[in-house]
Structure 1
Amino acid sequence: MKNSAILILAGAGALGIVTLHTSCSKADATASAGEEAAPKNGAKFKEGEGLSLTDEMKKSIALQVADVGEEKVASAITVSLSAMKPHEATGWLSPQHAAQVHPGVEVKLQSEDNGSVVDGTVQRVEQTPIGALGDREVTITTTQPLPLGGRLQATFHARAGEPAPAIPRSALLKTAEGTFVYAVNGTFYIRTPVKTGAMNSDLVEIKDGLYSGDQIVTTPVMSLWLAELQVLRGGKACTCGH
């Protein structure tokens, strides 16, 4: 018995819809054998190779690729703070971010309520007993009074390091399984785990998993992830009594 499943891929301003016709027994067999599994009119997956799309599907989701270059990436760290004293606000930094923020650094605090901005200075960064998973508490003082209980945003700009492989932030895929990119592998796109470093609104430093000159998908990585999930796991949602 054959079943139909609808795969919806959301791209940059485009929507691709693929109807997948699979036999439950055939889908289970190919999945267990680790072989190519997919319809010819949409996405298909091959173990060890990755995901492949037809030219029509690439166009419908506005697929874009780019070479990995080397850049000096300066981290932009945004932290939410609470003003518990008239001239003092506190928040939490991860151990990685705390290593880049030091007492004496000047920062601008923006109110989440009305958007007003005041100047502040990092007073201290310290580990406290209530910090979760090693988080550090950052304390920022101001000369201007702060509304008690008010919520603020502080953005720290760390100094850029040495040139390293870097990718557009849009190319990064974060899932419950980890952090990935889709690397170009011939006619396939293979989901590749990466270790990230410095990050800002535009770029992400890659510490492991990619080399300068590699090609990666810059957009839409979420559509590729949904396609991969549909091809690999969609066959189990059938009504064959399995």
Structure 2
Amino acid sequence: MTRVAICLPDYGFDPTEAAIPFEYLTNKGWDIEIITQDGKEPQCDQRMISGMLSTVMGAKPPAKAAYQLLSSSTSFKNPKAWTTVGFSLLDYDVLILPGGHDKGVKQIIENESLRLHLAEFFPLTKDVPDDLNRKKKVCGAICHGVMVLAWAKDPAGKSLLYDRKTTTLPEHLEKMAYVMTAPVLGDYYRTYPGKYTAGLVQETPEQYVAGPFNLTASYAPECAHVVCDERYISARWPGDAHKWSETIFNEAVKAGLA
């Protein structure tokens, strides 16, 4: 059975970006485990599922239903801890890194112990010529989840994404959300004030694949944008979550992991 790790902060992850792949891959019969820093049951950004903001910019009804499935699961209520002695991401076939805007996501973006695990796992999403015995892994990251990889380093001190094509939350969407909500929510939509996610994940401009410029129609399936670089699959925001989940599944099948 294909084993999947979804790494989450204790609080603040986006419910759509975590729950849609959980639901999709659970329905495929995959074994999914939630991983947090210390094994604490996580909690999504509550603004995305209740209150005024949720009705405009929060999770859509299918995502809320998927989050109910996720949050009631045994793995969610009893997560594993990436700080446990002997824990290894190499025990999993697929790694999923959701994002989120709440500043609680900094726990996972800046976590040194998680970065060590990522430095072992992520290189296996890329083949090496003539190494036929090399393990194959799949990694999916979306929105601020891309920053988790971008800020982690390989043994040479380079970003794990330094030679990989990627997308993430576009600057125009982040700016729009910030401008619309700043009078009420302040810098909520600026996880790192003064900086935009797209600029924080790039080593070179050539790496970044922004995707189509769309606003009002961007939840439509035909507007979804996903970038594959071998077995690394990135996406921008919750509107891409369904296509992103499907692509993660397809890449794992192609790699013989499912």
Same fold (TM over 0.5): no
Higher relative contact order (CA 8 A, sep 6+): 1
* Bigger-Rg structure (1/2): 1
Q: TM-score, normalised by structure 2?
A: 0.21
How high is the TM-score relative to the length of structure 1? Answer: 0.22
The structure whose residues are more often helix, as a share, is 2
